[in-house]
Structures are given as structure tokens and as C-alpha cells.
Amino acid sequence: MAVNERPGSGLSALDVMRDAPVLPVIVLHAVEHAVPLARALVAGGIRMLEVTLRTPVALACIEAIARDVPQAVIGAGTVRSAADAQAASLAGARFAVSPGYTHAVGRACHELGLPLLPGVATGSEIMAAQEDGYTELKFFPAMQAGGLAMLKAWGGPFGDVTFCPTGGIHAGNAAEFLALSNVACVGGSWIVPTDAIREGDWARIEQLARAASQLPR
């Protein structure tokens, strides 16, 4: 079994990255928004959903989606510790995304069988993640850490690494990142606007998801 595959699930980090061009970065402040949001995204062609652990209700939202939206593949973002990984797994998360990388987080996700997209911003961080068996990585914060030029430069020494750039990615520049050979998908929040979630405008979110799911790569 690969280090980045969950026992019995058949899901790997590469599966998460390849399912759709965009991995939505979701921040939820109310549990009642979780299920209709997930349904809108799935209806628009986005199944892999990253709910970030940035709010007190995040774990409850993950649990609600895991229970009530079986078509979605729910993951936890902003996983910063082994405790975060454990809590996310117990809530029903099927993959994890971290803003950075530590051996402790990598080991915890491996022991839990939780596919992990670790965040990296430097060559040293890529090498540390690779030493622990991780070759599918989140480039974060993408625009602030060098953007397209950095990913192109990494294509030489890290030709065996696949990236999901996140941070500053939007509808206007996503296609440029997706055109790179070492990019499998991009992470972004533009398909889950805060005001649309707050107002319950699920039709708008479905429309944004549909457009994102059709981006070329």
C-alpha cells in the first residue's frame, strides 16, 4: 500500500487531485450550510471537498457532509497537528490537506490511513515530504511563494512531484497553472464565495463549480 492511500478505501492523494481541476477551499461558519453547499458543488461536477479546520463548526460540518452527501468525498484542510488529523478522521474525513509539512503530521496521517496533501513552499520542504513518502503536494501560498515561475523551476529537480497550487488562484489565472505538466489541480475559494454561502445562493455555487469542473488541463 502506498504511504498516501487509505486502507480499504482505495483513495489516494493523486485520486483527489485528478478528480476535478479545482479543489475547493471551504470555510464554513454554520453547520446548516454544509450539506446544501456540498450538494451544490457535487451537482456542478466537484466531488472532492476540502473543509478547512478554521472555525469551531468545521468538524461538525465534515461529519454532516460525510453522513448526508455520499456522492461527495469530504476532506479536512488546515490540518496542522496529529490531533487535527485524528479529529478529522473520526469526523469522517477521507483525506487531509495541511498548510505546511511536519514529520508528525505526515506520520499521523500515514498511521490513520488518511491520504495527505502536505503544503510546501520551498525545495527543502519538498525534500522533507518526499523523505516521508509524499510526492503529491500542495504548493502554498502559491502566488506569494513564486507562482508559475516557481513551479516551472521545480519541474527540473522535482520532476517526480505533482502539485496542487493554492493561494491566490482564481478563475482568471487557474488555466495557466493547470497547463503546467507538474500540476494536477488547483485549490481555490472562488467557487465557494463567502457571500453566496451566507445567503444560501446554492444555484450560484453550482454554476461556479460547473465552470471550474470544465477548466482544461
Q: What is the pLDDT of residues 149-200, one digit of tens each?
A: 999 999 999 999 999 999 999 999 999 999 999 999 999 999 999 999 999 9
| Type of residue numbered 157 | P
Other beta carbons less than 10 A from residue 167's beta carbon:
21
Distance CA 65, CA 45 (A): 16
What are the residue ranges spanned by the domains of the chain?
13-213
Catalytic hit among 5, 50, 63, 136:
50
Active site residue 50: yes
Residue by residue, what is the 3-state secondary structure of 93-149?
CCEEECCCCCHHHHHHHHHHCCCEECEECCHHHHHHHHHCCCCEEEECCCCCCCHHH
Averaged pLDDT for residues 20-38: 98
Q: Which of 5, 136, 138, 206 is catalytic?
A: 138
The rounded percent of the chain whose pLDDT value lies above 70 is 96
**Residue 31 predicted with pLDDT over 80:** yes
pLDDT, residue 9, reads 62
pLDDT (tens digit, 9 = 90+) per residue, 127-154? 999 999 999 999 999 999 999 999 999 9
- Assigned fold of 13-213: TIM Barrel (3.20.20)
Q: Is 138 considered catalytic here? A: yes
